[in-house]
Each structure stands twice: as C-alpha cells, then as structure tokens.
Amino acid sequence: MGYNSRWSLVYQKIRKDFGFPIDGDKLAAKVLDKIIETKKSPPITLLKRKINNKNVTIFGAGPDLENILKEKKFPNKTLLAADGATTALIQHNILPDIIVTDLDGKIEDQVEANSRGSIVVVHAHGDNIDEIKKYVPRFKGYLIGTTQLDPSNYKNLYNFGGFTDGDRAAYMAAFFKPKKIYLAAFDFEKIGRYSFTKNVENKLKKLKWCKYLLKKLEEEVELIYI
C-alpha cells in the first residue's frame, strides 16, 4: 500500500489515535525535503535493484534479535534494518543493505553504515524535526526521504506506506516486489534493548499499530516470521 486514498484513511486514524497534529508532519516533511535536495540521493531504481525478486530480510529490534544474528537464522540476500536494529547488525559485523529510520536509534552506527554503503531511508514526522536538522546532514552516502503525507507535494520525498520503522520497511519492500519477505525479531508485546525506547507506553501502542499494518500487508504479500 503506497500512498493512495486507503493509506490516507489509515494515516488519519493513526493521527487521531496518537493526537498527532498534521502541521508537525508537514513541517518535518518540508525540512527533510529541503535537506535531501542537497544530499546524495540515489535514483529510486537503486532500491528496486536491491529488492525486486530478491529474498529480503527485515530486522526489527525485538528481544530475539541478538540470538537470530548469532545463529544466522536468516536468508543472507538483501538485508534491511529498522532503525535501532542497525546497531545490533553492526556489532555482529553485518552491514545492512538498507536502513529504514526515523532517527531515534544510535545515529553514529547508522552514519557509519551509510558511509560503508548502506542506503538510508529517513522518515519525517512531527516528533523528529530537531533530529532531522541535527543528524541528516551527517549522512554522506545514499539517502532517501519519506513522509507520512502525500509525497506529490514534495520534490524529494516518497511514501510507501507504513507507520513504525519495522512495518514501514515491510511496506517499502513489498512496493518493489521481492521474491519473499522475512521478518526477523519482530515482537509486538516485548520491547528489545535495540529499540532505544524512552516512552514504553507509547512504544507498546505503536507496536499494536505495527502488528495491525503488517496484518493488512499480508492481504497482499506473504510475510515470513523468523
């Protein structure tokens, strides 16, 4: 579900549930759009080449993440890290192909991975405007921007659907038609340490939406949990 009338309705429900003002999302998108214009932004076909007809593994930040990485229980083809999971991958000497982030993980690890070749897909929303201004200029490699709003209003932003980093990564992967999508360390009830969570109650609420959105995505593509 990329940006369309269906996603717009889902987004409105999410905003209402959390009390997010749309003006914050608009300002965040405007700020990111302007910064992306000065950055090394790859053609969107680069993401397609990484994902299309490939086995894609998306790493969440659930409690099982380290065990999965230690035991290498995942298809090692195209690897996506959801924000804080990047740190765990780096610690296990695994470089993700793509990082999907709203900048609340360990930024220095994401910057390092980006300098070594990871494509960073950074998301703008009303709660991370300061982080966008502070951290996005530090990324020197390939950078793609996303928004929760209609992307046609911006020159350099996309909207593939999704809300949290994990389900947003899954929606993005599905958009480019992979062979299979594997979800590693996705836990909707327990918070792993690589989530770098500051507000537990809010995080658990977001995980409920993540679960719901992935269920909706399963109506269109198969998701394999590992």
Q: What is the pLDDT of residue 41?
A: 75
Strand, coil or helix: what is 105? coil
- For helices 165-175 and 200-217, give the axis angle rounded to 10 degrees: 20
Task: Cite the DSSP H helix spans in 116-194.
Answer: 129-135, 165-175
At 197 the pLDDT is 79
pLDDT of residue 133: 98
CA-to-CA separations, 63 to 41, 94, 149, 159, 183, in angstroms, rounded: 33, 18, 31, 29, 13
Predicted local distance difference test score (pLDDT) of residue 2 = 56
pLDDT score recorded for residue 199: 87
Q: What is the pLDDT of residue 1?
A: 44
Closest CA to 102 of 77, 121, 87, 79: 121
String of DSSP letters for 43-58: PHHHHHHHHTTSEEEE
Residue 59, SS3?
strand
pLDDT in tens, the chain (226 residues): 456 677 889 999 999 999 999 999 999 999 999 999 988 778 899 999 999 999 999 999 999 999 999 988 787 789 999 999 999 999 999 999 999 999 999 999 999 999 999 999 999 999 999 999 999 999 999 999 999 999 999 999 999 999 999 999 999 999 999 999 999 999 999 999 999 878 899 999 999 999 999 999 999 999 999 9
- The domain locations on the chain are 5-225
Distance CA 221, CA 206 (A): 22
Q: How many CB atoms lie within 10 A of CB 157?
A: 23
Please tell me the predicted confidence (pLDDT) of residue 3. Answer: 67
The answer to whether domain 5-225 has CATH 2.30.29 is no
Longest dimension (CA), the chain: 45
The whole-model pTM stands at 0.96
